[in-house]
Structure 1
Amino acid sequence: MMMVGKPVYGIAKSRSAFAQAMKSQAPQQTLDDLFAAVARQVPEFGGMFLGDNEETLQVYLSVVSPTKVVAVQKAIVAVFGTSVIPKGGVKALQGQYGFLQLKDWYDRMTGPILRVSGVTFTDIAEGRNHLAIGIGKPEVESRVIEQLQKLAIPRESVVIEVSGPIETLTHTVRMPNSMSPWPYLRAGGYILTRLLCNQTGVGISQATLGFNIIGPSLGAGFVTASHATAAWWKLDTIAGFPPADFYQASGYYPPHLVGRETVDPHGFTGGACPTGLICRYSDSAFVRYNSNVKFGVGHIARTTGITTSVTSPILTIDHGGSPSGEFLIVAAPSVPYLTGLTLNKVGHYTGWTQGKIQMTNANFSQIPSAYIQVGCPGGLADPTMPPAGATLLSQYVVGDPTNDVVHSGDSGSPVFRSLKGLALRRAELYGIVWARFAGTYKQFIFSPIGGVPFQPTGVKTDLPPFRYCDASASPPC
């Protein structure tokens, strides 16, 4: 998959200011908006990404000169803060397009291109200084090219890639697996089970508990994937199902019933949502914990090692350090969501995996090309698909060129950045996994944490504000 490059929510003037912007959960700007702010100061700026080992900041310039390098570094610091410049400094790359030109083309193409049947995503690929369009099958390309011609967007400015269909991930970290009491706090990364059709006798569906939260209007509970419920983008009860109850266990074990879905927002139209589509910023739903459940906000399961192959996942919990068996989320994101940034996830199928951001701020169609549905009483089908034109805005892709990072069952996995020191047990939360590209286990797609409680002005979408960090976090987040 291409190294491309988006929401970094909020303009930060220092690392702490960036974290504060993330914590505020106010309507904020995407990474594309921030890149545009740099380009307004230096029009030759064409995008940037992190180099190998995150030691340099690779910056595209349409005109490369010592004067331009100095000017663009000054502009980047003004927008992102000094901490965005790694110890290796800035490395200038010869670019073809200024970012403002790319963004103008992108803003014009997003709606029309995503309405072409078979298109999976659109993106400004700042890692290539081009636009990018994903398609499910090769035969879609001619329709995409025809639409680009109508929009007067140069064909040579666009990379069209056959990504294959987007596959939402079906729903030890696979415990408890019996009726026995569970002695630990309920935490992110563990297995979740829901009864198909939300009633006994049909079967089960499994996903991953994302992360625990407490919100003023939400109460105490956890975030998981909306598509882990019977009805995408709406409460199951609104679709005609019984309430969606979740068991934090590997099967139908009534003692491990932990909560019920209470928030799963409809999408919105207008504003940032292209004409003819209906949009959200995350594939997320909120499950409120039952009053008897013991849980830890900011707690994510930690296995004994990093999985590199789906055929031999490492799922055993590491109780050798402190805190025992867990990562602690102690801060909001402090480093921008740039291409090349290393992130982690913990899911019940593959455990702890790691990769680098490869795509940023891309818009994804969430209409599955194929999905197994189960017939339910009353003529319903589980799952009930999202509305026509359903699109997730500002999504990210993490991948690794050699190691597997995801498998079916990892939907809802928390995505985080591990902090150095303290045996790598402290972390910053970056988002929630919801999909992969069909045919590969080496990339996952996630909604950024800033998108999960995103509330654009005048639009109610995704979840209300909440707290997701451990109580030790300072400042709170």
Structure 2
Amino acid sequence: IAAACADSAAPGSPGEPISMSLSGQVEDDSTPSQMAVAALVPGFGGYFLDPSGAPTVYLLDASQRPAAEAALAAFLVSRGFTSTDLVVRQGQYEYTQLDAWYGVARSAAFAVSGIVLGDVDEGKNRLRFGVTSAVAAAQVQSAVAALGVPAGAVVLEQRAPYAPLTTLRERVRPLMGSLQLNFFLYPPNGLPGVSYLCTLGFNAELNGERSFITNSHCTNNEGGTTLPTTYYQSRRSTLDNRVGIEVDDPEWQFSLDTNLRCPPPFQCRWSDAARVRIDDTVAAELGRIARLDEITTTLADTIHTIDGHFSIRGERGPVEGEVVNKVGRTTGWTQGPTLGTCVDVLALETNHIRLCQVQVAALVDGGDSGSPVFWRKGGGPSVALLGILWGGSVDEADPSFTYSPLSGIRRDLGDIRVR
């Protein structure tokens, strides 16, 4: 998981010169991958925003600060920082070493009953595994130690598992992100006459075809389009509310692309996403997300009034510690800090691992599945799209959600256009 998503730049071998093209690409990237920075900065252990919002980097050798400042130049500028704002922490492990250990330990850790997630945590300079019990924690610790991973390089967190969240609710045209979707499942996947609710993530185009993106688990069959799902907004009360039909939802399976990161016997994908073709008669606007009149702070707040829209003006990758937003049909507009940026997550009561997902500490509830996740600077209407929410922690005392980043959605669904 973590850390190094499979499409991340690979670090050079010791003594190998860094190409000017790679250096320029990283320095111009507002959210460079951890591995790309590691290729440029000797002794790099990870970068993130600390709880106060300060840009922070782990270095084994503090004298490499100038190299870190150069590699993170665009990241700093895009968030209103200067190079002098960068905080250097003493690292204990190189990011590339942590990533290698994670690759060795992944299969053994996910073989333990009670595993929830695993990643290379750039904010802790450690491997991180989430488990449901102390027994599972001890078993994971023993399993990874047997593979040569130092105990000091591993953090174990006892936490609740993540579950898909299937359960602005009015009819709205043109279609935009965050609206309520209604769909029905065919037996044996659902009960006759029982409907389900999810959230429309965002509108998209692929090869000129008007579409929107929602979750794969918000379909008749999670993975595959043998029985395509028909969607209504907001409810299937009249045929006029039909908005589209599912056209792309890759199977959960091994492939040449995923098997190196997918521990057997699990099935993996890079996203919990499906593409729905919008009906010709339905008005839809690309690049819009419903904006609400207030941010939700409690589950008791169930009235969510639309007050215009956010405009998607860009795209962005995740940064640990950065505050992000989501707007969903159940809990509305919520926000919170990013907890993990490339986490392998095993969904509750499934054998499906979503690879390289993002964790956020924020309020969420059933029906929010599919919510668009975005970054917002200041109080204006312009936002940068990050991905779509698919799961929430079952621990109501410690709410958090996971989302599939745009990079993973495109790996599964193709080079969609979102604005």
Same fold (TM over 0.5): yes
Query: Does 1:190 find its partner at 2:179?
Result: yes
Tell me the residue number matched to 1:344.
325
Tell me the residue number matched to 1:42.
42
Partners of 2:24 and 2:78 lie apart in 1 by 9
Q: 1:129 to 1:260 in 2, by over 3 A?
A: same
Q: Of the candidates 59, 62, 65, which is equivalent to residue 60 of structure 2?
A: 62
Query: Does 1:281 find its partner at 2:281?
Result: no
Q: 1:36 to 1:195 in 2, by over 3 A?
A: same
Tell me by how many angstroms 1:468 deviates.
Answer: 0.6
Q: 1:35 to 1:438 in 2, by over 3 A?
A: farther
Partners of 1:143 and 1:361 lie apart in 2 by 23
Partners of 2:405 and 2:103 lie apart in 1 by 21
Query: Does 1:262 find its partner at 2:244?
Result: no
Tell me the residue number matched to 1:415.
373
Tell me by how many angstroms 1:249 deviates.
Answer: 0.8
Tell me by how many angstroms 1:32 deviates.
Answer: 3.7
* Contact 2:302–2:330 (8 Å) recurs in 1: yes
Partners of 1:235 and 1:207 lie apart in 2 by 18
Q: Which amino acid aligns with 1:36?
A: A
Tell me the residue number matched to 1:207.
198
Q: 1:102 to 1:349 in 2, by over 3 A?
A: same
* Contact 2:26–2:36 (8 Å) recurs in 1: no
Q: Of the candidates 364, 387, 394, which is equivalent to residue 356 of structure 2?
A: 394
* Contact 1:31–1:361 (8 Å) recurs in 2: no
Which structure has more relative contact order (CA 8 Å, sep 6+)? It is 1
Summarize deviations over 1:41-78 as a string: whole Å, max 9, x none: 312x2111113553x311112344xx33234323444x
Partners of 1:284 and 1:98 lie apart in 2 by 33
Tell me the residue number matched to 2:300.
311
Partners of 1:348 and 1:166 lie apart in 2 by 19
Q: Of the candidates 334, 339, 357, which is equivalent to residue 353 of structure 1?
A: 334
Q: Which amino acid aligns with 2:261?
A: C
Tell me by how many angstroms 1:392 deviates.
Answer: 1.2
Tell me by how many angstroms 1:231 deviates.
Answer: 1.1
Gaps of 5+ in 1: 23-29, 177-181, 238-242, 319-324, 370-384, 455-461, 470-477
Tell me the residue number matched to 2:386.
430
Tell me the residue number matched to 1:381.
none
Q: Of the candidates 115, 122, 125, which is equivalent to residue 119 of structure 1?
A: 115
Tell me by how many angstroms 1:300 deviates.
Answer: 0.8
- Per the normalisation by structure 1, the TM-score is 0.76
Tell me by how many angstroms 1:229 deviates.
Answer: 1.0
Gaps of 5+ in 2: 10-21
Q: 1:72 to 1:419 in 2, by over 3 A?
A: closer
* Contact 1:60–1:94 (8 Å) recurs in 2: yes
Query: Does 1:33 find its partner at 2:35?
Result: yes
Tell me the residue number matched to 2:29.
18
Query: Does 1:443 find its partner at 2:410?
Result: no
* Contact 2:199–2:370 (8 Å) recurs in 1: yes
Partners of 2:90 and 2:275 lie apart in 1 by 45
* Contact 1:35–1:99 (8 Å) recurs in 2: no
Q: Which amino acid aligns with 1:306?
A: I
Tell me the residue number matched to 2:170.
175
Alignment of 1:283-302 (within 5 A): 283-302=272-291
Alignment of 1:357-372 (within 5 A): 357-366=338-347, 368-369=348-349
Tell me by how many angstroms 1:191 deviates.
Answer: 0.6
Q: Which amino acid aligns with 1:449?
A: L
What SS is found at the alignment partner of 2:39?
helix
Partners of 1:416 and 1:15 lie apart in 2 by 22
Tell me by how many angstroms 1:433 deviates.
Answer: 0.1
Tell me by how many angstroms 1:37 deviates.
Answer: 1.7
Tell me by how many angstroms 1:168 deviates.
Answer: 1.1
Q: Of the candidates 128, 137, 152, which is equivalent to residue 141 of structure 1?
A: 137
What SS is found at the alignment partner of 2:112?
coil
Q: Which amino acid aligns with 2:244?
A: G
Q: Of the candidates 198, 211, 215, which is equivalent to residue 221 of structure 1?
A: 211
What SS is found at the alignment partner of 1:424?
coil
What SS is found at the alignment partner of 1:72?
helix
* Contact 1:210–1:414 (8 Å) recurs in 2: yes
Q: Which amino acid aligns with 2:262?
A: P
What SS is found at the alignment partner of 1:259?
strand
- Percent sequence identity is 30
Q: Of the candidates 222, 231, 234, which is equivalent to residue 232 of structure 1?
A: 222
Tell me by how many angstroms 1:316 deviates.
Answer: 0.5
Q: Which amino acid aligns with 2:29?
A: F
Alignment of 1:91-170 (within 5 A): 91-170=87-166
Summarize deviations over 1:411-436 as a string: whole Å, max 9, x none: 0000111243xx52111111000001
* Contact 2:4–2:99 (8 Å) recurs in 1: no
Summarize deviations over 1:214-267 as a string: whole Å, max 9, x none: 1117x1111000001121112252xxxxx3111111454432011111111013
Tell me by how many angstroms 1:314 deviates.
Answer: 4.7
Tell me by how many angstroms 1:317 deviates.
Answer: 0.9
Partners of 1:153 and 1:355 lie apart in 2 by 32
What's the C-alpha RMSD, in Å, of the aligned pairs? 2.8
What SS is found at the alignment partner of 1:249?
coil
Q: Which deviates more from structure 2 when the two are superposed, residues 276-285 or residues 219-228?
A: 276-285
Query: Does 1:244 find its partner at 2:242?
Result: no
Q: Which amino acid aligns with 1:131?
A: L
